[in-house]
Chains A and B, each alone.
Chain A
Amino acid sequence: MRPFTYERALDPADAVARVAAHPDAAYLGGGTNLVDHLRLGVAAPGRLVDVSRLALDRVESRDDGGLRIGAAVRNSDLAAHPSVRHDFPVLSQALLAGASGQIRNMATTAGNLLQRTRCRYFQDVTTPCNKREPGSGCPAVEGRNRTLAILGASEHCVATHPSDMAVALAALDADVVVLGPSGERRIPMADLHRLPGDEPARDTTLDPGELITAVELAPLPAARRSAYRKVRDRASYAFALVSVAAVLEVEDGVVREVRIALGGVAHKPWRATRAEEALRGREATAEGFRAAAEAELGAARPLSENAFKVPMARNAITATLRGLVRAAGERA
């Protein structure tokens, strides 16, 4: 644990200036992941810039019916927000499925998005890891990989992204608002996180010094019928083996709108576009749901210990969609 300086930013621009000027500086939000990394030696920043007290802690309704979620909104506050619960239940459910009450009270929206993989090799500095030490190798590929990726991985990294909230935001096509040294830009959720490729040290497409200031949700009436299903090893406080965020609108037995994202299966929240294509405009049947899930998972490349994730993801997708149809009082 290396000594570091701690400072509080005055406003977002000040925060960006403080971090951009120092290559070894890091933003500190709720600290629920970074502080662990400081203790474990996974991260050793020389300067922490605290952004948790900036005026980014509000959830605001947009004129078009969408939501603007401040980057410093705590996970528990976001999950309990009436608009989130009513208009985007998948997001509220995903947040409540994550971590523990105490951690949700601390963790921020931006910090949740930027939390890092819980791959055991990444977190254990006595073993190699391409994400932590580029070029050192990936022992997980042929090691203890039961919890790791089945989709989109590379020979260099098979880590999964641990967030539940991010999976729901991926299904909702959220935009991430980012402030950098050269101004503000918006990044679609689908483009925020990366697949590992040959550069697994980079989790996201953020540039050095960029600060997430908000997450925006466009109105999506179909999302009022949405759900998050997390499959895990125990009933609470466990990362997803597989999770599903789904939005489903069915009219006269036909799928009008569908959004599906998967967690626990890839280096990023995995938008199941193939499954969506297979469902849109088709009859909403249990067989159809299963076939769509299988279409998505055809690309799965399981590792030595996680082949179970393929049927588990297939069944979880099918059951989640079935549940949404059931909740709507329709048949599937």
Chain B
Amino acid sequence: MTLTGTPPAVGTAVGPAVGPAVGRGVRRLDGRVKVRGMARYAFEQLAESPAYLHLLQSTVARGRVSDVDASEAEALEGVLLVLTHLNSPKLADTSDGEYTVLQSPGVAFRGQIVGCVVATSPEVARHGAELVRIRYDEHPHDTRLREDDPDLYAPDEVNASFPTDTDEGPVEEALRSSAVVVDQRYSTPMEHNNPMEPHSCIATWDESQERPTLTVYDSTQGAHGVASTLAKVLGLAQQDVRVISPYVGGGFGSKGLPHAHNVLVALAARTLPGRPVKLALTRQQMFFLAGYRTPTLQRVRIGADADGRITGLVHEAVEQTSRIKEFAEQTTVVSRNMYAARARRTSHRLAALDVPVPSWMRAPGEAPGMYGLEHAMDELAEACGLDPVELRIRNDPPADPETGKPWSGRHLVECLRVGAERFGWSRRGPTGSRRDGDWLVGFGVASSTYPGNVMPGSVARVRYGGRGHYAVHIGAADIGTGSWTALNQVAADALGLAMNRVHLEIGDTALPMATVEGGSSGMASHGSAILEACRRFREEHGESPEPGATTESAAAEHPEAKEYATHSYGAQFVEVRVDADTGEVRVPRMVGVFSCGRIVNPRTARSQFRGGMVWGLSMALFEHSIVDHRFGHVMNHDLADYHVPTNADVVDIDVSWLDETDLHLNPLGVRGIGEIGITGTAAAVASAVHNATGIRVRDLPITPDTLVR
């Protein structure tokens, strides 16, 4: 399926890591243990005589706990502990409001942790939690995001350390003098990550040694990050906290950072030293405590010449954060370099509300931002009377508009052209022109993009075990993406070995430090560290090392990366069918073509791209956390009511990629593929819905009620 013959504009040199394994669609090494149920996830780890924790959550959105009556719960047989702010151990560091658990009676959002019951069985813990009577002084709360909120503010920076605002050139003047102007508002709702495996952990506090230690089995995208956070918050030395996380049932950003429940379990474990304390959040609890995507209110203004060349572009976003911790989604950053424009302005404004803490979720920034920008581009194409593919090609910038740096392989135009061919885009008819029985048929398109990220700091260790077997150690995570397999491929080639001679170990802070499996940076960061450690191992120990020979190394310096603007691109084409009677939308066909540098494992990569596109479809049609602002919490907090696609919603997804290598970013030539698939998809669906029906739905999700007439 890989497309050959597409000329890579850069990176033509043969990379040092290409070998028999990299580039091959190796089956998942962990597949057998997973399908047989033998892979132990965090909650399933063996623990002797464990205790089970059930949360107590606030039932007011703002106020103070005024009274706790735990007597009935404490009298229940099997209850070991009722922990609240009244009896909690003190934390050593309270600089992060999310992790400051049970340190005061204050309540900053509905569903916040106000205590827990620990018992000898999960059933008793849950029953005990129902018996704890908590009273509150309730204060007026505000959970509603409004564009005209007088308290909107500009954060110091937005997520991933981007500037909050940019302003280049006289954009108002450019818009005034444009032949065509699109000025529209778009919105994306609050959305929750909802990985299949709930957030879960087992914590054991050990005081039998000279210094207390904490061991945590956790479901996380970054074991080292959990360990350093817990060490800081609890006042332990980092080496005294061990986090183990070999298998993770999805994260989607919500396991990129530890959350309040991790601190709570550690506090409970500290109160019951020597006893493992287990917690798995319920699905309902995940809607309060595991992060989510802020709703976004976006305004996009684009001016263009009569021939569709963009003159001015303004992209503004209003978003929410919590009162206890700031998270600023970088929604409009994509508009800073996606297309050429003579003048442009971007901004982010935040409202700090009485809401849970928002965080990373599946392409934070790019996912909602590319929805607003790409939907506006579709409207601009219509206003200019241009094919939306052609409009994008006309506005492809020769160099990064933001920095002036050369692109490290920008192949958006190729993706659009190849995708149009694979999809049959030329058969697209005018708006509202195609009907098949009771179905209105439409085609849509949008671009995708994601930055090429490498995170510094990861270290890999290579050790020769004798008899031809090598151990490769790095504390990286496999969140279901295929890291167990793909990192093994990199190591095998770098050492010049068959894959079964390499024994990879990941998911443990006892292994060398690895950065978080997030920002689509895993392969570029962890793979590069493995590559360099393997190279140095051979340099130091040769082809016939002594058993026990060991080399540890971080990734090699790659100063060239700073000289280029490094982004991945893609194009997505979608066919929708809208039931003419009921407004139901079905998506029988999606085509995605991506340009992401070298693909290490085509089999797992295809799953990642396809999964990204499914999430994009999900964002377009389904996902919506519905808040009742009188109470201040999400009402549809389960998977029966918070909709994601079912198998019946996902039909034919055609994934391909350009055959290329990007050696400017890292010596592996990879750019990361985890998140690009979700970007632009929702705009392509909205474009197709408009093509089918003539109706512009600018507020996601596009549900039948928005289309029924």
Contacts and interface: CB of A to CB of B under 8 A. Distances in A.
Contact of A316 (B127, B581, B649, B705): B581
The 6 closest A-B pairs by CB, nearest first: A308-B705, A235-B648, A236-B648, A315-B581, A120-B635, A236-B646
Given A118-B640, A143-B630, A144-B626, A316 B582 contact: yes
A234 B621 contact: yes
A319 interface: yes
Nearest to A320: B581
B282 to A, nearest CB: 8
Contact of A312 (B59, B645, B649, B708): B708
Interface in A2-56: 2-3, 39-41
Interface string A220-242: 00000000000111111111011
B709 interface: yes
B635 A124 contact: yes
19 contacts: A1-B130, A39-B126, A120-B626, A120-B641, A121-B635, A124-B635, A127-B628, A127-B631, A139-B630, A231-B584, A234-B621, A236-B649, A238-B643, A308-B583, A311-B709, A312-B583, A312-B704, A315-B582, A318-B581
Interface in B28-53: none
Interface of A: 1-3, 39-41, 118, 120-121, 124, 126-127, 139, 143-144, 146, 231-239, 241-242, 306, 308, 311-312, 315-316, 318-319
A308 B127 contact: no
A183 B553 CA distance: 81
Contacts of A118: 640-641
A70 B492 CA distance: 62
A315 B127 contact: no
A39 B646 CA distance: 25
Nearest to A311: B708
Contacts of A234: 621-622, 643, 645-646, 648-649
A239 B708 CA distance: 18
B5 to A, nearest CB: 38
Nearest to A239: B640
Contacts of B643: 233-234, 238
Contact of A231 (B438, B582, B622, B636): B582
B151 interface: no
Nearest to A319: B581
Nearest to B125: A1
Interface string B520-557: 00000000000000000000000000000000000000
A2 B131 CA distance: 10
Contacts of B627: 144
A319 B583 CA distance: 12
B708 A2 contact: no
Interface residues of B, number: 37
B337 to A, nearest CB: 35
A143 B628 contact: yes
A315 B708 contact: yes
Contacts of A2: 127, 130
Most central of A118, A146, A315 by chain B CB within 10 Å? A315
Contacts of B582: 231, 242, 312, 315-316, 319
Interface in B602-624: 621-622
Contacts of A235: 586, 646, 648-649
A40 B129 CA distance: 12
Contact of A120 (B126, B584, B636, B648): B636
Contacts of B649: 234-236
A1 B126 contact: yes
A308 B708 contact: yes
Most central of A235, A312, A318 by chain B CB within 10 Å? A235
A312 B130 contact: no
B123 interface: yes
Interface of B: 59, 123, 126-127, 130, 282, 284, 438, 581-584, 586, 621-622, 626-628, 630-631, 633, 635-637, 640-641, 643, 645-649, 703-705, 708-709
Contacts of B584: 231-232
Contacts of A3: 123, 127
A312 B647 contact: no
Contacts of A1: 123, 126-127, 130
Most central of B127, B282, B582, B628 by chain A CB within 10 Å? B582
Contacts of A308: 583, 704-705, 708
A100 to B, nearest CB: 8
Contacts of A239: 640
Most central of A39, A118, A124, A146 by chain B CB within 10 Å? A124
Given A2-B130, A120-B636, A234-B646, A241 B705 contact: yes
A120 B630 CA distance: 14
A143 B630 CA distance: 8
B622 A126 contact: no
Contacts of A233: 621-622, 643, 703-704
Given A233-B703, A241-B704, 18 more contacts: A1-B126, A1-B127, A2-B130, A118-B641, A120-B636, A124-B637, A143-B628, A144-B628, A146-B705, A231-B704, A234-B649, A235-B586, A236-B646, A236-B648, A237-B646, A239-B640, A308-B708, A315-B582
A146 B705 CA distance: 9
A121 B123 CA distance: 24
Nearest to B631: A127
A173 to B, nearest CB: 26
Contacts of A146: 626, 705
Nearest to A44: B130
Nearest to B438: A319
A311 B126 CA distance: 44
Contacts of B640: 118, 237, 239
Most central of A40, A139, A241 by chain B CB within 10 Å? A241
Nearest to B122: A1
B634 to A, nearest CB: 9
B590 to A, nearest CB: 15
Contacts of B708: 308, 311-312, 315
A127 B632 CA distance: 11
A26 B635 CA distance: 27
Contacts of A121: 635
A237 B643 CA distance: 9
Contacts of A312: 582-583, 704-705, 708
A236 B633 CA distance: 26
Nearest to B587: A235
A234 B586 CA distance: 8
A127 B637 CA distance: 13
A24 B647 CA distance: 40
B520 to A, nearest CB: 27
A113 to B, nearest CB: 19
A294 to B, nearest CB: 14
Nearest to B57: A126
A126 B129 CA distance: 14
Contacts of B628: 127, 139, 143-144
B637 to A, nearest CB: 8
Nearest to A315: B581
A139 B708 CA distance: 27
A79 B649 CA distance: 22
A49 B643 CA distance: 33
A233 B635 CA distance: 17
A312 B703 CA distance: 12
Nearest to B636: A120
B704 A126 contact: no
A144 B635 contact: yes
A126 B621 contact: no
A231 B586 CA distance: 12
Contacts of A306: 705
Contacts of B703: 233
Nearest to A229: B582
A236 to B, nearest CB: 4
